[in-house]
Chains A and B, each alone.
Chain A
Amino acid sequence: MAGILELTVAEAAAQIAATELSAEEYFDAWREAAAGDDLNAYLFHVEHPVDHQAMDGPLGGIPVAVKDIFCTEGTPTTAGSRILEGYRPPYTATAVRRLDAAGARVLGKTNMDEFAMGSSNENSAYGPVLNPWDRGRVPGGSSGGSAAAVAGGLAPCAIGTDTGGSIRQPASLCGIVGLKPTYGAISRYGMIAFASSLDQCGPFTRDVTDAALLLAAMEGRDPCDSTSVGIEGGILAPSREDLGGLRFGVPSDLAGAGFDAGVREVFEATLKWIEDLGGELAEVALPSAEHGISAYYVIAPAEASSNLARYDGVRYGVRAGGDGDLLQMYETTRSQGFGTEVKRRIMLGTYALSSGYYDAYYGQAQKVRTRIAEDFKAAFEKVDFVVTPTSPSVAFELGEKTADPLSMYLNDFFTVPMSLAGIPAISIPAGLAEPEGGGRQLPVGFQIAAPAFAEQKLLEASYALEQAIGFDAKPVGSDG
C-alpha cells in the first residue's frame, strides 16, 4: 500500500488514466492515511462515499486536502474559527469546483490559523498543527494544515491561500512546493475573505510538476469574481532543464535583513545552482520592500475589519447572548467567537480606516504598496525573476513567538512584498539547515518571484532548479 502513496500526483493520475491503478483504491488508501492524522492537520475528513464515476480529467481520481477557508457545500467550513463552528456552506468555492471538474476529489478540510491570520498555525481555534519534521515545531501558517498534510504523507496534494505568505512560508517550513499565483489567476469566489485585495489561492505539492497540474486545473476567469482574469494560454507541465539566458535578481537590500545563518547557506548554495544551470545573477534594488510589512499590517487588517464584520450571529454560525438586545448579541457573539489575533487585527484595521486616520494609515500604506509594485516593475526590466529565501528561519518552536506578535509578523518579511505587488511567487525546498538554537535539520525554502501572469515561465525555471537540487529529504516522522 505504501507504494501508491509514494507516487506524485502526475504519476498517479497517469496510472489511473491508463487503468493501471484504480481510482477507488488510490482514494481509499489516502483516506486511510488521512484518518491517521497525528499532526492535527485536518479539521474534517470526508466521510461520505466519493463518486468514483465521472473522475475523468487531468486530475482524475486525485484526492486533494482543502484548506478550511474554502466553502464546500454541505461540508463543515470554519476558517479555523469558533464563530463558524457548525457552519455548512450552501455552495462550493470555484477553485474546488474546478478541481472537481478536473477529476479530483476533496479528501478533507485542513486546519489553519483563524481566518488565515497567522504565520505558525497557532491561531487556530482548533489547536495548532504540528510540523512533521519536528513535532515540537510549527508548520508555518496560515495554511499550516495543508502544508503539514502534504509533507506528513496525509495527502498527495493540497490547496491553501496566500495573503502575505500563507502558502509559501508553510511550504518552506515543511519542505514542499508552495505556489502563490498572480492575484486574479484563480477565482476567489467561495474562499473566505481575509484581505480581499491580497488573498490568492494556490497549490501545495511534492514537486513543481504537480503544482503546475493543480494550477492548470484551478486558474481561469470566473464570472463570479470580477477581479479574476485567469492566465492567458493556460498552464502546461514544465520541462525545462537549464536556466540559460535567464537572469535572476537578488535584492541588494537583502544583506541587511536578519535571517538565520543556515538559511543563508542554503540560499547561497541555491544561487550557485542557478549559475551552474546557466542562469545569470544580478543585483536588483527593491528600496520600498523593507516597508512591506508595515504597509501589509495596515492594509490587510483594514480589509479584514470589514470582511469579518458579517460574522454577527444573525444569519449563520455561532450566536451568543443578547436576549432582546441587538448590540449585546453582536458583542457577545464576536467576543466569544473570535480569537485574540483576529480581534487584534480587527481593532488595528478599524482604527486605520477611521475618519481622521485614514490618510495617515490606509492611504499611506496604499502609497507604499504602489511603490513596491513599481520597484518590482523596474526590477523586471532588468531580470526575469527575483529570488529570496522564503522565510528568515526554519520552523520555529511551538509557543516561541506567540507572545510577540511583531517577531511573528517579521516571518513574512520576504513574502509580503510579492503579495502587495500581486505577482506570482513559488517556494521550492532547497536544502536543510539546523535551527539557530540547534536541533535536527529542517527544510529551507527558496522563493522565486516572476512578473504578473508569468507563471509558466516561473514553473519552468523552478522545475529546472528542482531537478538540479534533487531535494529528497523526508520528515523522520513518528517512526524516527
Chain B
Amino acid sequence: MAELEAVIGLEIHVQLATKTKMFCGCELSFGDEPNVHTCPVCLAHPGVLPVVNEQAILYALQIAAALGCEVAPRSIFHRKNYFYPDSPKAYQISQYDTPIAGAGRLGDVRIHRAHLEEDAAKMIHAGESGRIHGSSASLVDFNRGGTPLVEIVTEPDLRGAAEAAEWARLLRETVRQLGVSDVNMEEGSLRVDANVSVRPAGTETLGTKTELKNMNSFRFLQRGVEAELERQRRLIESGGEVEQETLHFDPQSGSLTSLRSKEEAHDYRYFPEPDLVAIAPTEEMARTARESLPELPAARIERYVGEGLARDVAAVLAADPETAAYFEQVSTDVSGVEPKVVANWVTGELAAALRAAGGGTAAESKVTPAALAELITLVARKTISHGSGKTVLAALVEEGGDAQVIVEREGLAMGDDDGDLESIVAAAIAADPAAAEQIKAGNGKAIGSIVGAVMRETSGRADGGDVNRLIRAQLGL
C-alpha cells in the first residue's frame, strides 16, 4: 500500500482587540466579573438591532492585507441559526457566501477566505470536570458574547502536524504584529481548529476529513493532529474508512472523542441578515489597511535570508518585532561585520548569557545595541579574543555600560604587552612533548591541553582560533 500522506487545513478564529463588541457598545474584557459587559443588544432583548463596529472592519481589512487576500468590494452578513444558551439571539451573525476577504497566501499556505463574525458567550459548566458531561448546572457569561472575530480558513496545503503547528505560529506572529489581536491561545483570543485527512502519497483526491476542535496551544495542536493522523492511517491500513465527524482532543490522555457525526451536523438555515447593510470598503480604506501594515515576519525572514542569514536564525529573529529591531540596530552600529555574524551573536552568545542571568529578551536587557555592536567589532578586529568577548558580554548583561570600558577595566585587550604569542605557543609545546606527539599522530583532541596552557599564560586574552592555528603551524601540520 502506498504511503498515506497527511492533508491538513486550518480554521483559525482571531478575537479582535477592538475597544467595543462587534455589534454593540459594550467594552471588551477578559477576566472581569461575569455579565458586567452586557446591554440589551448583546443579551438579545426583543427589538434590538446590531450595528457594525467600524474598527473591526478596519482590523479585518488589515488582516486581509497581511494575508494578501482579495477584498470583496461588497460583502454581507448572514444569520447562522442554532439554539444554544451561548447564543442569545439563537443565531450568530457571521458571513457566509460573500466574506470580506477572499483568496490569499501566507508563507507556503494558501488562504481560502477570511470573514467577520461575533463570538458566542461563555458557558461555564458547574461540576467537577468543568465539561458539560457530568456537570450539575450550566452558567452563561455574556461578557465574551459579541466579541468581534475574524475566522481565517486555509486551503488544505499543510502536509504534517509539525508543519501545521509551525505555520500556525507564523500566522499568530503575523496577526500579533498587526496589533489587531492579543492572539493568546490560553485565553482563547486565538483558537485553532484543524481539518485532517490522509490520502495515498502522489494522489490528488482529498480523503474524508475530520475536524479537530479548539486546541489551546500549538503543542496540543501538533499532538492532536499527530494522534488523528495516526488514527486515520491505522484505520485505513486495517481496511476501515474514515467517517466525517468533529473530534475533541484531550491533551491529558492523548485521546480523541467524537463531538458529533455528519448525521448530527446542524442545518444552520443561513440567510442574509436583514438588520445590516452591506460592507463596501472604499479603495481608500483598503489602501489605508495596506499602508498601515508593519513589515511582517514572513517578509522579514526573506529579507534576512537575502542578507546572508541562515533561515532558522532568520526565523528566530523575525518572530518577535522587538528582537528584530534590536538585531537590526546592532547590525547598523557595527563596522566591517556581516549581519550573519551579528545574528549569531544575538541568537547565540547573547541569548545564552541572558539565559544564564535568569532570562529576559535582548531588547529588555541592559545590553544596549550600541554596546553589543562595539563588543562584536572588538572581537572581529581581534582586539579581544572571542572568549574575552563572552566575559565582556556577561558583564554587560550584569551591569550594562560600555564594552570598551569593560575591556580596559578587565585588561582583556590582546595588545603588544601580551608578549609574543608565537613564543608562548612554542614554550607550551616544548613543555608538553607527549601531547605534541599525539597531535602529530592525528589525535585532534590532544591539542586542548596545549591551548589551555597558552590561555593560562595569556590570562585568556589570546584568540582561540589564532592559538590553534599557531600550534598546528609550529608542529608542521
Contacts and interface: CB of A to CB of B under 8 A. Distances in A.
A310 B46 contact: yes
Given A197-B274, A306-B91, A310-B90, A226 B51 contact: yes
Nearest to B50: A226
Interface in B65-124: 79, 81, 83, 85, 88-91
B271 A306 contact: yes
A40 B152 CA distance: 55
12 contacts: A89-B40, A192-B47, A226-B49, A302-B271, A303-B271, A309-B83, A309-B89, A310-B89, A310-B90, A315-B45, A355-B267, A355-B269
A69 B277 CA distance: 23
Contact of B274 (A77, A84, A196): A196
Contacts of A353: 81, 269-271
B52 interface: yes
B44 A310 contact: yes
Contacts of B52: 226
Interface in B17-68: 40, 43-52
A90 B85 contact: no
A91 B45 contact: yes
A89 to B, nearest CB: 6
B81 A316 contact: no
The 7 A-B residue pairs whose C-beta atoms are closest, nearest first, are A309-B90, A197-B274, A353-B269, A196-B274, A192-B46, A190-B47, A71-B47
B81 A306 contact: yes
Interface in A332-360: 350, 353-355, 358
A70 interface: yes
A395 to B, nearest CB: 29
Interface of B: 40, 43-52, 79, 81, 83, 85, 88-91, 138, 140, 267, 269-271, 274-277
B46 A79 contact: yes
A128 B40 CA distance: 30
A261 interface: no
A301 to B, nearest CB: 12
A471 to B, nearest CB: 34
Nearest to A90: B40
Given A89-B40, A192-B46, A224 B267 contact: no
A376 interface: no
Nearest to A115: B46
A223 interface: yes
Interface string A182-200: 0000001111110111000
Contact of B269 (A84, A227, A326, A354): A354
B272 to A, nearest CB: 9
Contacts of A89: 40, 45-47
Interface in A52-94: 69-71, 77, 79, 84, 87, 89-91, 93
Nearest to A83: B46
Nearest to A349: B269
B47 A224 contact: no
A56 to B, nearest CB: 27
B135 to A, nearest CB: 10
B40 A77 contact: no
Nearest to A223: B51
Contacts of A223: 51
B54 to A, nearest CB: 11
A84 B275 CA distance: 22
A330 interface: yes
A336 B270 CA distance: 27
A414 interface: no
A314 interface: yes
Main DSSP-derived SS at the B contact region: loop
Contacts of A197: 274
Contact of A71 (B45, B85, B88, B89): B45
Interface in A92-138: 93
Contacts of A192: 46-47
A315 B88 contact: yes
Contacts of A196: 274-275
A316 B276 CA distance: 25
A70 B47 contact: yes
Contact of B51 (A77, A224, A310): A224
Contacts of B91: 306, 309
Contacts of A316: 45
Contacts, number: 103
Interface string A282-316: 00000000000000000000110110011110111
A125 to B, nearest CB: 15
A11 interface: no
B45 A312 contact: no
Contacts of B88: 310, 314-315
Given A306-B81, A353-B269, A227 B46 contact: no
Given A196-B274, A226-B276, A226-B277, A93 B47 contact: yes
A188 B40 contact: no
Determine which residue in A197, A353, A362 has the highest number of CB atoms from chain B within 10 A of its CB, and name it. A353
A193 B47 contact: yes
A89 B276 CA distance: 23
A225 interface: yes
Contact of A190 (B43, B48, B269, B275): B48
Given A306-B81, A306-B271, A309-B89, A227 B277 contact: yes
A189 B83 contact: no
Contacts of B267: 354-355
B132 to A, nearest CB: 10
A143 to B, nearest CB: 16
Given A71-B45, A306-B271, A309-B83, 11 more contacts: A89-B46, A191-B47, A196-B275, A226-B51, A226-B52, A227-B49, A312-B85, A315-B43, A315-B45, A353-B269, A358-B269
Nearest to B90: A309
B425 to A, nearest CB: 83
A326 B85 contact: yes
Nearest to A350: B269
B274 A303 contact: yes
Contacts of A84: 46
A287 B191 CA distance: 52
B308 to A, nearest CB: 53
A296 to B, nearest CB: 14
Contacts of A188: 47, 49
Contact of A77 (B46, B270, B271): B46
Nearest to B269: A353
B52 to A, nearest CB: 7
A199 to B, nearest CB: 9
Interface string A262-281: 00000000000000000000
Nearest to B268: A355
A59 B400 CA distance: 75
Nearest to B137: A324
A193 B90 CA distance: 14
B405 to A, nearest CB: 62
Nearest to A334: B83
Contacts of B85: 312, 314, 326
A311 B88 CA distance: 9
B88 to A, nearest CB: 6
Contacts of B81: 305-306, 309, 353
A71 B46 contact: yes
A192 B47 CA distance: 4
Nearest to B140: A314
A313 to B, nearest CB: 10
A358 B44 contact: no
Nearest to B266: A355
Contacts of A306: 79, 81, 90-91, 269, 271
Contacts of A309: 81, 83, 89-91
Contacts of A355: 267, 269
B444 to A, nearest CB: 73
B44 A315 contact: yes
